[in-house]
Structure 1
Amino acid sequence: MFPLIILYLVLTIIRPQEYMAAFTGIPILPIVLIAAFLCWLISSAKTFAAPQFVILPIFLVVLMISVVVNGWFGGALDQLEKFGPIMIAFFVLATACNTQQRVIITMAVFVLCSVVLVAHGIGQARTGMGWTGVPISEDGRIQYVGIFNDPNDLGLLFATTIPMAVFLSTLRGLLLRLFWLACAALLFYGTYLTNSRGALLAVLVVAGVYIWYRRGFITAGTLGVVGLACMKLMSSRMQDLDPDEESAFGRVDAWYEGLHMFLSHPVFGVGAGNFTEYNDLTAHNSFVLVLAETGFIGYMLWLAFVGYGFWMMLTVLRYKPDGLDDSVRAKAWQGEQRMALTLLLSLCGLYAAAFFLSRSYTVVMYLLAATVVGYYVNARQRFPGLRMFRLADSAWRWFTASLGSIAVFFVLVALLLHVSA
């Protein structure tokens, strides 16, 4: 099961099936996923010991209902075909990441595949054409094939995997340390080549959260201001980071329209995939997109799915197990905390970038979430004192958090529209 889902991860990111003639006409990605799923079905290692295993199937049902209640009965099957494989990949990878070593391997695959995409982008930047046959974009930003054809999606991936590369550099000898640090540097350079403002801000968020954790809020805030100034010098698009700038105003306007879609369809939204039926631009915000397309019910489920991942990693970082006087156990716990911090930083990078992109249903988001869930379920076996999360125990929290975050969006959009008026 684990080798198959890792192969699926490789094919999902590198995507040779989309530009190599040898794979033409072969549905290799579905074949690998089905094989991994069959292994999962017969595996005795299956576990459902995390709320995400309950939330995701319900969210899929809500996606299907959202299009049906808006008049498209065939849309239920369409959503099943689109999101069903993502849900399966989540279940399989979350189950397969049942040891620390497997989590480390998954991180390494994320990083190495991302570095391949950076190498493709460097070739594009130098020659104007990548080996996939995809040219550099008209505005000079690197891009790849398939789901990474948008430079912003590349930037999201790179911002997510930089913390993993840095973590991997701490595990082995000098040569491997230098190798993984070089990978981290390449990923940062790749983020620069995407010239994605959201991705650059996501990298800044990752660095800020890390410094906050290690040195405190004041140090993080001070260095964050310096980092933002440096990034504005690095990127021409970062220099236009202003509500009055045309692209930024278009995003705010899309958020405004998305909130009004929610007001007009508060329960199940306007239907998954229907945002652009009501507005020329997509939402440019993964949270607003889910709120507008699936209504309060879908948004609460999705927010809970996202929130539990952060909550799990913070639980590891805050937990103080007994027996830390023993040097072996203390060292083991330090390793747990480094891994949890890495995954937390990757989540911060992913969702900071996703805040400016409509990527609520992209597979990369759910593969990272699966890695987080697999790690936490396994960590609880090593340290049983870690909290056991149950949806029934904290459902009210997500209801409250959903109401609060929606209110924040309304206030934020009102302020941004007032500033740009």
Structure 2
Amino acid sequence: MFPLILTYLVLTIIRPQDYLPGLVGVPVLPAVLVLAFVAWLASGQRTWAAPQFIILPVFLVVLMISQVTNGWTGGALDELIKFGPTVIAFWIFATGCTTRRHVVIGMAVFVLCAMVLAMHGVGQAAAGVGWTGVPLGDDGRIQYVGIFNDPNDLGLLFAATLPMAFYLSRRGGMLGRLFWLSGALLLLYAVYLTNSRGALLAVLVVAGGYVWYRRGVVTAGVLGVIGLTCLKILSSRMQELDVDEESALGRVDAWYSGLHMFMSHPLFGVGAGNFTEYNELTAHNSFVLVLAETGFIGFMLWLAFVGYCFWMMLTVLRFKPQFGDDEAMAEEWRKERAIALTLLLVLCGLFAAAFFLSRSYMIVLYLLAAMVAGYYTGARQRFPNLPAFELSRGGWRWVPAAMGGVATLFVLVSVLLRTAG
């Protein structure tokens, strides 16, 4: 099961089926997922110990309902076909990541795949075209094939895998550390080549989160200001980071339109994938996109899915077990905390970038979330005193949390529009 889902992960990111002549048109990705699903069903390792295992299929149902309530009954089947594989991949990958060893292997595969795309980008920037046949963008930004054709998506992947590369560089011997550290530097350079403002800010958030955890909020704040200044010097697009800049105005207008879509369709939204039917530009914000397309119900579920991921990793970092003089158990717990910190920084980078991109349904987001949910499930097996998260006991909290999230988006957009005016 686990090797099959790792193969699915590799095919999802590197995507040889999109450019190798012998694989183009061959349903390699669905075939591998079906095999992994069959192996998962037969493994007996299925678990529903994390709320995300339940939330995600319910969110799929909401996606289907959002199409029906907007007059397209056949859209329910369309959403099942499009998002159903994501739910299955999440279940399988999360189930496979319950051991620390498997989590580390998953991290390594993620980073190696990201490094392949980064090397493609470096070659593309130098020669004008990559080995996939995809040329450099007209604006000089690197791009890949398939779901990574947009430089912003590449930047999101690089920013999210960067903490994993640094974590892996602290393991193993000298050569292993050198390899993973070189990979981290390659990913940083690739982020620069994407010239994605969201990805650059995500890298800054990851670095700030780590400094905050290690040195406190004041140090993180000071270094954050310095880092933002450096980014504005290094990146031409970061120099345009202003509410009055044309691209920024377009984003704010899209957010404003998304909130109006929500107000006109408050329960189930305007339908998954229908944002651009009401606005010329996409939402350029994953939270606004979910709110507009799936309404309050979908937004609450998606916020809970994301929120539980952050909450789980923070719980591990804040938990203080008592081991007495048992140094072996204390060392095991230090290993748990190191992985939890890495995954928390991954989430910070991922959703910092996603806040400026419409990537609410992107498969990579859910595979990364699967690592988080699977890891916490396994951590509770290794340390039973870790608190359990159950929808039956605390799920009601996400109703007021979603209300607060909606109110925050309204206030943010109102402030930005007034500032632009």
TM-score grouping bracket, smaller chain normalisation: over 0.9
SS in 1 for 2:22: helix
1:26 deviates by: 1.3
Deviation at 1:14, TM superposition (A): 0.1
- How many Å apart are 1:375 and its aligned residue? 0.6
2:307 is matched with: 307
Query: Which residue of structure 1 lines up, in the alignment, with residue 114 of structure 2?
Result: 114
Residue in structure 1 matched with residue 74 of structure 2 by the alignment: 74
2:134 corresponds to:
134
Alignment partner of 1:23: what SS?
coil
**Which residue pairs with 1:283 in the alignment?**
283
Matches of 1:266 and 1:18 in 2, distance apart? 38
Distance 1:42 1:28 in 2: 21
1:65 and 2:50 are equivalent in the alignment: no
* Structure 2 match to 1:254: 254
- What are the residue-to-residue correspondences of 1:211-360 with 2, within 5 Å? 211-360=211-360
Partner of 2:180: 180
Partner SS state of residue 139, structure 1: coil
Q: Distance in 1 between matches of 2:152 and 2:371?
A: 22
Q: Could you tell me how far apart the structure 2 residues matched to 1:393 and 1:358 are? A: 32
Distance in 1, matches of 2:380 and 2:125, equals 45
Structure 1 position 419, deviation (Å) = 0.7
Per-residue deviation, 1:326? 1.4
In the aligned structure 2, how far is the partner of 1:25 from the partner of 1:267?
A: 38
Distance 1:25 1:238 in 2: 39
> Would you say the 8 A contact 2:192–2:200 is kept in 1?
yes
Matched AA of 2:259:
L
User: Once the two structures are superposed, what CA deviation does each residue of 1:188-219 show, in whole Å capped at 9, x if it has no partner?
Assistant: 00000000000000000000011001000000
1:361-411 deviations in Å (ceiling 9; x for gaps): 000000000001111100101100001100121122111111111111111
Residue 98 of structure 1 deviates from its aligned partner by 2.2
Residue 173 of structure 1: how far off its partner (Å): 1.1
Aligned-pair distance for 1:24?
2.5
Q: 1: distance between equivalents of 2:325 and 2:289? A: 49
CA drift of 1:324 comes to 4.8
Query: Identity over the aligned pairs, expressed in percent?
Result: 69
Ranges of 4+ aligned residues in structure 1 off by more than 4 Å = none
**In structure 2, distance between residues paired with 1:395 and 1:117:** 39
- The one-character-per-residue Cα deviations of 1:50-84 (angstroms, maximum 9, x if unpaired) are 10011011100000000100000110011001000
> Aligned residue for 1:404?
404
Q: Distance in 2 between matches of 1:394 and 1:160?
A: 29
**Number of residue pairs aligned between Structure 1 and Structure 2:** 421
Structure 1 unaligned residues grouped into runs of 5+: none
| Matches of 2:400 and 2:392, distance apart in 1 | 14
Question: 2:12 corresponds to which residue?
Answer: 12
Secondary structure of residue in 2 paired with 1:212: helix
Give the AA of the match of 1:92. I
Q: Deviations over 1:261-302 (max 9, x none)?
A: 000100000000000000000000000000000000000000
Aligned residue identity for 1:255? W
> What amino acid does structure 2 have at the position aligned with 1:152?
N
Q: Which moved more, 1:166-175 or 1:58-67?
A: 166-175
Equivalent position of 2:380 in the other structure: 380
- Where does residue 154 of structure 1 map in the other structure? 154
The DSSP-based 3-state class of the residue aligned with 1:159 is: helix
Contact map agreement 2:98 2:376 (CA 8 A) in 1: no
Deviations along 1:215-262, one digit per CA (max 9) or x if unpaired, are 000000000000000000110000000000000000000000000100
Aligned mates of 2:41, 2:385 — CA distance in 1:
29
Residues of 1 paired with 2:153 and 2:325: CA distance? 45
Q: In 2, Cα distance between the equivalents of 1:29 and 1:115?
A: 21
Distance in 2 separating the partners of 1:24 and 1:351 = 32
Q: For structure 2, list consecutive stretches of 5 or more residues without a partner in the other structure.
A: none
Distance between the aligned counterparts of 2:163 and 2:257, measured in 1?
A: 35
How far apart are the structure 2 equivalents of 1:348 and 1:50?
Answer: 20
Residue in 1 aligned with 2:54?
Answer: 54
Q: Secondary structure at the residue paired with 1:260? A: helix
Once residues 347 and 242 of structure 1 are traced to their aligned partners in structure 2, the CA distance between those partners, rounded to angstroms, is 25
> Per-residue displacement from partner, 1:278-334 (whole Å, max 9, x unpaired)?
000000000000000000000000000000000000000001112153111111111
Aligned residue type for 1:364: V
TM superposition shift of 1:172: 0.7
SS of alignment partner, residue 21 of structure 1: coil
